[in-house]
């Protein structure tokens, strides 16, 4: 297996400390804090560890309360809120340095048949027709501020192909819409639970940035403080994350230093497999050097 993906799977092998208590390890994502998608995915994995066989996560709602420290482990405390015949509910609290940094509510369901419909997948070029946009070109990377260059240069366990080109050095004011094909860099085990937890992880990729697109903020001129505030995922249908998925994102509103973004995730054959929503902090700072000082 590709070492980048193997390392990601290692992060999802949580240590059980007690019946409802788990510990997960973090990685340096190139940002000052723990990557939000990591906490989201690990918390869902902890919740899964307390459910019965055959129960599948269908929705989760999370709040990010404090910055996580990637140099220290995170403890996940699971509350078994309800176990019904069809549905089960779990609450998860992520703790670091004695404080809550994150909370999650997740719902699980045993498979059932019923009515079905969905909106059509957007008409976009297939991933094979698009260039790899996982990494910035070396010339562009060298011109970024050190803080952003470190983040953009990190190796990721996912391959990305953008439908709409993105120029971080000379951005244009465009509609708050993004379409990104994504998949893991290598084959994953045949484990639906793992695929759902990893989709929760990657669902934080690029999402909040959609709300900045109409404003053409030049990273060389201004600093930005961005952080996920809350995040929701609804799983609609089974999927494989090691095959191409289309992440379609749009931002209907930004105000009060917050941006709101919605996402729809489609499989190659056009099935809507998941939906997301997120509100996040987007605080513009006149001087890039002042970013670290802003709380």
Catalytic residues: 204, 228, 278
Q: CB under 8 Å to 9, separation ≥6 — which residues?
A: 1, 194
Dmax over Cα atoms in the chain, in whole Å? Answer: 57
Strand order in the sheet with 177-184: 15-18, 21-24, 74-83, 87-96, 99-109, 56-64, 223-235, 272-285, 258-267, 245-255, 177-184, 158-162
> Contact 185/158 with Cβ under 8 angstroms?
yes
Closest CA relative to residue 280, chosen from 219, 203, 221: 203
Return d(Cα 244, Cα 159) in angstroms, integer: 9
Any idea of the CA torsion for 134, 28, 17, 42, to the nearest 10 degrees?
Answer: -30
- Contact call for residues 48 and 12 (beta carbons, < 8 A): no
């Amino acid at each position: 297996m590709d070492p980048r993906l193997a390392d990601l799977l290692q992060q999802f092998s949580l240590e059980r400390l007690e019946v409802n208590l788990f510990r997960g390890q973090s990685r340096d994502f190139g940002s000052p804090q723990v990557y939000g998608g990591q906490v989201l995915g690990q918390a869902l994995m902890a919740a899964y560890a307390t459910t019965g066989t055959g129960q599948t996560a269908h929705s989760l709602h999370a709040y990010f309360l404090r910055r996580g420290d990637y140099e220290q482990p995170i403890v996940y405390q699971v509350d078994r809120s309800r176990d019904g015949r069809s549905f089960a509910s779990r609450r998860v609290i992520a703790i670091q340095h004695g404080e809550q940094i994150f909370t999650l509510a997740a719902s699980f369901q045993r498979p059932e048949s019923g009515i079905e419909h969905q909106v059509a997948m957007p008409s976009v070029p297939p991933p094979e027709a698009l260039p790899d946009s996982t990494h910035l070109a070396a010339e562009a990377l060298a011109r970024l501020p050190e803080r952003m260059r470190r983040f953009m240069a990190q190796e990721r366990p996912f391959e990305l192909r953008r439908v709409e080109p993105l120029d971080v050095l000379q951005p244009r004011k465009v509609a708050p819409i993004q379409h990104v094909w994504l998949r893991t860099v290598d084959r994953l085990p045949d484990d639906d639970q793992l695929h759902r937890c990893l989709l929760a992880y990657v669902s934080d990729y690029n999402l909040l940035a959609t709300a900045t697109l109409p404003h053409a903020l030049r990273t060389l001129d201004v600093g930005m403080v961005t952080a996920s505030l809350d995040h929701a995922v609804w799983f609609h249908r089974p999927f494989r994350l090691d095959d191409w998925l289309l992440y379609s994102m749009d931002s209907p509103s930004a105000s009060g230093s917050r941006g709101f973004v919605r996402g729809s995730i489609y499989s190659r054959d056009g099935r809507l497999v998941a939906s997301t929503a997120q509100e996040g902090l987007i605080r513009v700072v006149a001087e890039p050097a002042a970013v670290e000082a802003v709380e």
